[in-house]
Structure 1
Amino acid sequence: MTTRRTVQSAPPAGREIERLKETATPILKRHHVLRAGLFGSTVRGEATSDSDIDILVDLPPHKSLLDLVGLKLELEEALGRPVDLVEYSTLHPLLEGRILAEEVSLIKRDDRFFLQDILESITRIEAYTHDLSENDFLQNNQAQDAVVRRLEIIGEATKNLPRNFRQMYPDVPWQRMAGMRDVLIHGYFGVDFKRVWEVVEQDLPGLKQQIAAILDRLDAQ
C-alpha cells in the first residue's frame, strides 16, 4: 500500500503575516536592515507548512555576504522555516513590478541611513588622510585602500537613495558620486590615486557640508 505524504496547511495568511512580523522585525532591525518586506506564497495565502518564507532586504553598504548569511540563519532559527533572503537591488526587471506590488512591508526605508553612511565615510576619509600630503598619500597603500573602500560606500549609498529624493537636492552631485563607485570597482588598469586625492581635497569638504545640511533639515521635520 502506498503511503501519501500529507502537507499540512499553514495558518490563515493574515495571522501568519502578523506572526512573521512580530518575530522577524526585531531581528532585521538588530542587523541594521534598512528596508524589508515579505513577498511570495505567504503573502498570497498559498503557503503550506513546508513553504519557504520569502523576505526582501536592503542592507547597509558596509555589510558583507557573511552578514547576509548570518541574518538568514538567525531568521530561520527564530521562524522555524527555511528563509529566502532577496536583496531589492538584485530583483530581475521582469519580476520586480509583480514582487513589489504584493510586498508587505516589515521595515520602511529611511533615507537618512544612506545619508549617514555617506557622512560617516567622508569623516573616516578625513581621519585616514589627516596630516598626509599628496605625496604621502601616493606612497601609503594602507591609506589608499581605506579611502577607496569608503568612496565605494559613498557611491553605493548614493545609488540606494530613490530618484525622487535626489531630485529634491539638485545641487548635490548624486550622479557623479554613484558613478565614482563604478569607476573604482571596474577599473581595468588600476586606480588613478592622483584623481582620488583630488576628490579628497577638492570635492569631499563641500559634499560633507551638503549632506550634513540635508540631514539637519530632515531631523528638524
Structure 2
Amino acid sequence: MSKDDLVRLRHMMDAAKEAVELAAGKSRHDIANERTLNLSLVRLIEVIGEAANRVSSTCRAKYPGIPWLQIIGMRNRLIHGYNDIDFDILYQTIS
C-alpha cells in the first residue's frame, strides 16, 4: 500500500470517528435541526468521500468489503445536492 493511500485511509478513519463522536446521543431530529451539527457532519462525510475517491484502485481492490462507490456517491450527492440533504440518510449513515 502506498504512503498516499495510507494517508487517505487515515483521513477517512479520522473523519468517521469524529462524525460518530459528534452524533453520539443525538437523534435524527437533532441532526436536522442543529445547524452547526449538521454542517459539521455533512463536511466530515464529504471528507470521507473525497479521500475514498483518491484511494488508488489497487488499494480499493484489496478491500472489496468497503462500499467505495457508495461512499464516493454520497460525497457527490452532498456536494452537488447541497440544498436537498436527506437527513434520514445522513442519520442512518452516521449511526
Normalized against structure 2, the TM-score is what? 0.90
**Deviation beyond 2 Å, 4+ runs, structure 1:** none
Separation (CA, whole Å) in 2 of partners of 1:122 and 1:188: 20
Q: Displacement of 1:131 after TM fit?
A: 1.6
Q: For residues 39-188 of structure 1, what are the structure 2 equivalents within 5 Å?
A: 109-187=3-81
Structure 2 gap ranges (5+): none
- Asked whether the equivalents of residues 28 and 87 of structure 2 are also in contact (C-alpha less than 8 Å), the reply is no
Q: Determine which structure has greater relative contact order: mean sequence separation of CA pairs < 8 Å that are 6+ residues apart, divided by chain length.
A: 2
| Structure 1 gap ranges (5+) | 1-107, 202-221
Q: 1:193, CA displacement in angstroms?
A: 1.3
Q: 1:154 aligns to what SS in structure 2? A: helix
How many residue pairs get aligned? The number is 94
Q: 1:188 to 1:126 in 2, by over 3 A?
A: closer
Structure with more of its chain in helix, by fraction: 2
TM-score (norm 1): 0.41
Task: Tell me by how many angstroms 1:189 deviates.
Answer: 4.2
Between structure 1 and structure 2, the one with the greater Rg is: 1
| RMSD between aligned residues | 1.5
How much identity, in percent, do the aligned residues show? 29
